[in-house]
Chains A and B, each alone.
Chain A
Amino acid sequence: KAGVTQTPRYLIKTRGQQVTLSCSPISGHRSVSWYQQTPGQGLQFLFEYFSETQRNKGNFPGRFSGRQFSNSRSEMNVSTLELGDSALYLCASSLEDSLTQAFFGQGTRLTVV
């Protein structure tokens, strides 16, 4: 069974640009969550989607947004990039609506210059 796939793996963007990251969950998983990981703050919750509905959102500015498609694939978008957005962005998928067994992808390493 294929794991969680995130694309691209690495990305370099300039301040002010926008970026879209993609996540394909494990087949059959309908819950997808996004996290930002930085050395200082660790993993911080961005948002969670289940069956195309955002159920919970973390404390991030409105520049961070996401969506989920009918096939459970998810995208997150960051607009007007800032240097502080440089981080590893991780996607996790889980079966039905349980997060106790959330499986992570390899992440997308975003560098903003």
Chain B
Amino acid sequence: QKEVEQDPGPLSVPEGAIVSLNCTYSNSAFQYFMWYRQYSRKGPELLMYTYSSGNKEDGRFTAQVDKSSKYISLFIRDSQPSDSATYLCAMRDTGFQKLVFGTGTRLLVSP
């Protein structure tokens, strides 16, 4: 079993929809949680990061962490065709200098 599980999709939504992307994890030591966006043939781009549990909002993006359920989410409001990309969750604990990634969810937003 992988430490971080993420549905690969693809997830297809119409423009303007609210998108929910999720990851589950098994390592209770994870304290830092990140979301990256990766366009085809590009490197991952950091969208948001949170520490421990709670919510964080940045424009159309909201990240949620529920450590009791070992579950994190990224919500995208008013989705745009330009949001079409692969979204990767990543996590790390305080003791190790490495990020553990989910395999990514491919999102397609149609006009």
Using a CB–CB cutoff of 8 Å, the interface residues on chain A facing chain B are: 4, 6, 31, 33, 35, 41-45, 48, 50, 55-56, 58, 90, 92, 97, 99-107
Contacts and interface: CB of A to CB of B under 8 A. Distances in A.
Nearest to A104: B43
B46 A97 contact: no
Contact-size category for B = 20 to 34
Q: Is the interface of A mostly helix, strand, loop or mixed?
A: strand
Contacts of A6: 43
B92 interface: yes
B43 A100 contact: no
B94 to A, nearest CB: 10
B92 A103 contact: no
A45 B43 contact: no
A99 B99 contact: yes
A90 B99 contact: no
Contacts of B97: 31, 33, 48, 50, 55-56, 97, 99
Contacts, number: 62
A42 B101 contact: yes
Contacts of A101: 46, 49
B42 interface: yes
Nearest to A58: B98
Given A100-B32, A100-B34, A45 B100 contact: yes
A23 to B, nearest CB: 11
A26 B99 CA distance: 18
Contacts of A42: 88, 101-104
9 contacts: A33-B98, A35-B99, A35-B101, A42-B104, A43-B88, A43-B90, A56-B97, A101-B49, A102-B46
A99 B98 contact: yes
Nearest to A47: B98
Nearest to B6: A42
